[in-house]
Amino acid sequence: MSSNPALADKGKLLYENGAKERDVLACIVCHGHDGEGINTNPRLAGQNRDYIVSSILQFRSRLRENKIMQHVTQNLTNDEIAALVEYISTK
């Protein structure tokens, strides 16, 4: 359960739909409906919140290599990252 349901709802929309107008892909495609991970794409459900934030920021700033994640995160705002993490933490 989220401590901020409104923020989690925003994160859910982004997780499930992305933001096509800004070339942000939906997380659900690679990480699964419940964040369980698909094939070699990692599980997000149950991960530590700080780890998820750190990973997204590292991909966005290109400090961590993964061309898909670098592309997906390059247009995420800090507010969107907070919303995504709030939603993912409910999984």
Cα atoms in the 13 Å half-sphere on the side-chain side of 89:
20
Sign of the dihedral defined by the CA atoms of residues 31, 37, 41, 44, in that order: positive
Each of the 91 residues of the chain gets a pLDDT tens digit; together they read: 788 999 999 999 999 999 999 999 999 999 999 999 999 999 999 999 999 999 999 999 999 999 999 999 999 999 999 999 999 999 9
Q: Does domain 5-88 have CATH number 2.40.50.140?
A: no
- Could you tell me the residue ranges of all domains in the chain? 5-88
Q: What secondary structure does DSSP assign to 15-76, as a single string?
A: HHH-BGGGTB--THHHH-TTS---TTSPP-TT--HHHHHHHHHHHHTTSS--HHHHHHHTT-
